[in-house]
Structure 1
Amino acid sequence: MEHESLFSLSNPEFWVLVALVLFFGLLVVLKVLPGALFGALDAHAGKIKAELDEAQQLREEAQALLADVKAQREDAERQAAGMLEAAKADAKRLAEEAKEKLEEQIKRRAEMAERKIAQAEAQATADVKAAAVDLAAQAAEAVLTARLSGLKSDPLVDTAIGQMGAKLQ
């Protein structure tokens, strides 16, 4: 068998090659192949661009959200610092108020104790005076009784002595 060349008319592979070239040529002439191919590529490129745009948008939203969270955190930290300072100031103020109240209470109790001491002194002085008056009245009565014992009893003197004892108390 002779070896036939690829370009001979009796070779079936030649006709397959011719049919394939004609098919692709027809597709090119009818603008099916480049249009479909470029259309598919354009559609795929459009999808990729849309996904990239969406990814960019998501990234921008995430960055905005991150900035918002950072701002909220900073605000919360400022508020916490303010609350801490206010609590310290309140604690200091309460401590000063408690100290003032304690000093005032100590002062009032000292004044009350001084008044009680003064009252006790006055009561003791009054008791001593009353005891001295009673003792003086008893002594005067004893002296007058001793002087008048030899004399007749005078009802007037007895009444005056009784009144004197009552008046001296």
Structure 2
Amino acid sequence: MLDLLLAAEEGAHAEPTAFFLEPYQWVSVAMVVLIAVFIWKKVPGMITGGLDSKIAAIRAQLDEAKALRAEAEALRNEYQAKIAGAEQDAQAMMDNARREADAILVKAEADSSAMVERRKKMAEDKIAAAEREAIADVRATAVMAATKASRKLIAEKHDAGADKALADEVIAGL
């Protein structure tokens, strides 16, 4: 207590104490109590139990992965055998396709000359149709040009007086 009075007189700050223990000593006591509670509640056992369960789960996953790998290898071997069989089937199909292609080629050569004649006839018919269409286009163009020219001439020669005379003539005809 004397220290507090002397410290107060000198203007220095006095550190608080409880039950005559310094703050660092309270921290030590708290740590000891915490460790004791952990041991009393069997926390290390729970931690190791959790780790053991994780290890068991990982082992189960590894065993499952090994089984999947063995299954995948079996499937790979099965498909390799199927591929070998498929290659033999493909070769047989190729041989059959060659024979069919030769037969089709012979038939195609026979049919090609008839087709050439038909195409030639079709081409001649198309040429004749194109000629008729061209003539019709030329006639239509000539009619359009004549129509435009007659409009222009009528517009130049026809005035309001001619319109009145034409209207009178139409009215008299009715």
TM over 0.5: no
TM score, norm. by length of structure 1: 0.40
Which of the two has higher C-alpha Rg? Answer: 1
TM score, norm. by length of structure 2: 0.39
